[in-house]
Structure 1
Amino acid sequence: MFDSKRAAERWLSLTETQIMKGEWTDPERAKVPLGHYAEQWITQRPGLRPRTVELYRWLLRKHIEPYIGGVELGKLSTAIVRQWRSDRLAAGVSESVTAKAYRLLRGVLSTAVDEDKILPRNPCRVRGADREHPDARPVLTVAQVFELADRLPNRFRALVLLAAFTSLRWGEVTALRRCDIGEDASWIRISQALVEVPGRGLIVGPPKSRAGVRELIVPAAIRPEVVKHLTTYVKPDQLALLFTGERNGNALRRPNFNQRVRWTKVVADMGLKGLHFHDLRHAGNIWASKAGTSTKDLMARMGHDDVRAALIYQRATSEADERIADRLSDLVDKHRKRSKPEDEDPDDGASGVLVPTT
């Protein structure tokens, strides 16, 4: 194995030093194929949402396993990772999907380094490979949000207004129950989300992130609309969903909402073809950012959390959240006064401006 006794002694000395520093890795354990290790990683990872599990398995199956899944962990290098990424992009895979696959690979190998002590360092060191540059999304005006609410069936009016003025995700707003909202609609509590998983249908899970569990103050200007919805469309049971389908009273499913509820047709008729429901949340985030609050307080209202943001995340005070809600109410009041006739208010969310979505 060694060319000389001295070489063996040097190896032994180095190994002993690594063991003492806790840096030694067993080369035999590093012979496990990446694909096998990654599959176990997904299965064993605690706290993953069902939708995230589906995404990770798809990324592994489609973009990692066929190309570098058979490579032993110990033989992976930054050069191999860089070439794999370059090949994916050259094959026409989008920058966004490639970045997601790279982040998954980096997460898997970080566990191999930090927790399992299989690798001495993570080979995912390709600068900028984890970044996405999503297309800018349109920012709706307050007037457009109310027009959209007017055009949809009445039972979905409050759905649109809450999504926009409290910055809720689709899964969060469709999971709201009577017990999650004050009788006077002055507050809402987000504690769960509905997630559609292929082959399993709708399931109840936690919000998208840890920061997604939150209580929010509803702008006073839209509270009467929400109270009317509670009175007209929601069963008295405390666990009754706020928003259900027209025909069967079941939880809303996005494909049905887009087609049967006519979202797709309505936004096209408004000249907003391709508008996503998530763009309501995006508009609300932009409006709230103009309320003069801190980044941390804004993040708390949005329920926004990621690896970088989590390091600085702090829950906002109720006073700060109330300032945001009051500012949003002012926007609605200005819209209603303006509706009687005339000019577009410059605070009303700059129609036509493109801002990256969050």
Structure 2
Amino acid sequence: MARKKRSFGRVRKLPSGRYQARYLGPDGIDRPAPNTFRTKADADDWLAERQGEVRNGTWRDPDAGKIPFEGYALTWVAERGLAATTDELYRRLLRIHLLPTFGGLDLDEITAPCVRAWRAERLSTTGAATTVAKAYRLLKAVLETAVDDELIRRNPCRIKGAGKEVAEERPIATVAQVDALADAMGPRWRLMVYIAAYGPARPEEQAAMRRPDVDLDSLGVWIRTAEPELTTGRRAPGATKSQAGKRFVVLPGFMAVDLQRHLDWYAEKAPDGLLFVGERGKPFRRSTFGRKWRKARALVGLPDDFRFYDLRHTGHTLSTRSGATLKDTMVRAGQSSEKAAMRYQHSDTERQKEVAKGLDARVRADRRKAKARQADSASGTQRARDA
């Protein structure tokens, strides 16, 4: 009986007694199996699998993944056109958390066990679950693009929930504490504290505010751009965090005097001058402002982990307690995505004025209560002296 001729690939027996398999790939390159086989049947099975991949169009160049992760990841970041702060974050996550482990590996050498071991080590070493979650998401995104580029067959990042951040509930300040912070920061930065709490605007949004952004008639501020400060000290003017970040924020009525005084006394005098500048007339720096903030925070008695950014959380909470709907709060904070905005009722400027009015009433009421308590305390002390 004539021996059937092999239609795909070749198998030969080596002097060692093991078998080697080879085949001609769709790219015209002769490709050997990555290892030898104990039996001829095992070699035939391997060739059958490769032939099946060629026939159904799932064949992939076995050398495609031999690309250094470091170069691929850095190119991935550079090609994304990211905002300056996001670009800085991704490069820092790569430098500190990913490249020390994966930088010397090719894409196809990064396996699921390798990823699990890396994550466990990072969690154990740093204790920074939120940062590790960010790094994991970045690694997964880079390798997902490698899958799309047909450089690897499957993404090795398959740990359920590993990229999810579980942030602790942030503290909020009372109205009295916000007032005390504004006083402690001094008249030049008083308005910034109030806009952060009752706007509530992000620090980088306030850094970009200019005179034309202030509307004294409607008592509010326009937020059109953002100007975050990078860790290098360089400012990165650009768009707001999202499209929803471009908004007009109606401020509570009690801020009218502070807003007018700030324009008269502290804002840059040029028609398009910055709203917030330092004592020397330069854009405020995070380092200098941070020192003032830490001193003010200690003076008021707030915990060390209370950040300037937490004034936004304070504003969200007070707005809600003043009758704002979830949609109202999202609009004021510039947080609503287009998808989220469709789920809630419309919140226009008139509604924002209602929210600001309610917030104004809330703050004024809390201030009256605080003064009444002080008066009662003072009168009680006097009665004790007279007794």
| TM-score higher than 0.5 | yes
1:54 is aligned, of 68, 77, 88, to: 88
Residue of structure 1 in register with 2:340 after alignment: 312
Residue of structure 1 in register with 2:293 after alignment: 263
Is 1:279 equivalent to 2:324 in the alignment?
A: no
Residue of structure 2 in register with 1:107 after alignment: 141
Is 1:241 equivalent to 2:274 in the alignment?
A: yes
Q: Which amino acid aligns with 2:309?
A: H
In structure 2, runs of 5+ residues without a counterpart are 1-21, 24-39, 375-387
1:337 is aligned, of 344, 349, 368, to: 368
Give how far 1:62 is off. 1.4
2:131 is aligned, of 90, 93, 97, to: 97
Residue of structure 1 in register with 2:286 after alignment: 254
Give how far 1:135 is off. 4.1
Is 1:153 equivalent to 2:186 in the alignment?
A: yes
Distance 1:233 1:185 in 2: 21
Change (3 A) 1:13 1:291: farther
Q: How does 1:199-210 map to 2 (within 5 A)?
A: 199=232, 201-210=234-243
Query: Which range is displaced more, 320-329 or 140-149?
Result: 320-329
Report the secondary structure of 1:122's partner residue: coil
Distance 1:120 1:320 in 2: 52
Query: What does the per-residue CA deviation read over 1:268-290, in whole Å, with 9 as the maximum and x for residues that have no partner?
Result: 12211423211211201111233
Change (3 A) 1:243 1:123: same
Q: How does 1:125-140 map to 2 (within 5 A)?
A: 125-140=158-173
Residue of structure 1 in register with 2:56 after alignment: 17
Distance 1:31 1:185 in 2: 61
RMSD over aligned CA atoms reads 2.6
State the structure with more CA Rg.
2
Distance 1:290 1:153 in 2: 28
In structure 1, runs of 5+ residues without a counterpart are 344-358
Query: What does the per-residue CA deviation read over 1:251-281, in whole Å, with 9 as the maximum and x for residues that have no partner?
Result: 111211132xx32222212211423211211
* 8 Å CA contact retained: 1:288, 1:328: yes
Change (3 A) 1:292 1:119: farther
Identity %: 36
* 8 Å CA contact retained: 2:175, 2:367: no
Residue of structure 1 in register with 2:67 after alignment: 32
Report the secondary structure of 1:71's partner residue: coil
Distance 2:62 2:356 in 1: 57
Count matched residues. Answer: 331
Change (3 A) 1:38 1:154: same
Distance 2:84 2:76 in 1: 15
Give how far 1:82 is off. 1.2
Q: Which has the higher contact order (CA 8 A, sep 6+)?
A: 1
Report the secondary structure of 1:133's partner residue: coil
Give how far 1:242 is off. 0.8
Query: What does the per-residue CA deviation read over 1:81-116, in whole Å, with 9 as the maximum and x for residues that have no partner?
Result: 1111012122234212211211111121222234x3
Residue of structure 2 in register with 1:354 after alignment: none
Query: What does the per-residue CA deviation read over 1:212-237, in whole Å, with 9 as the maximum and x for residues that have no partner?
Result: 22222222232332122112222443
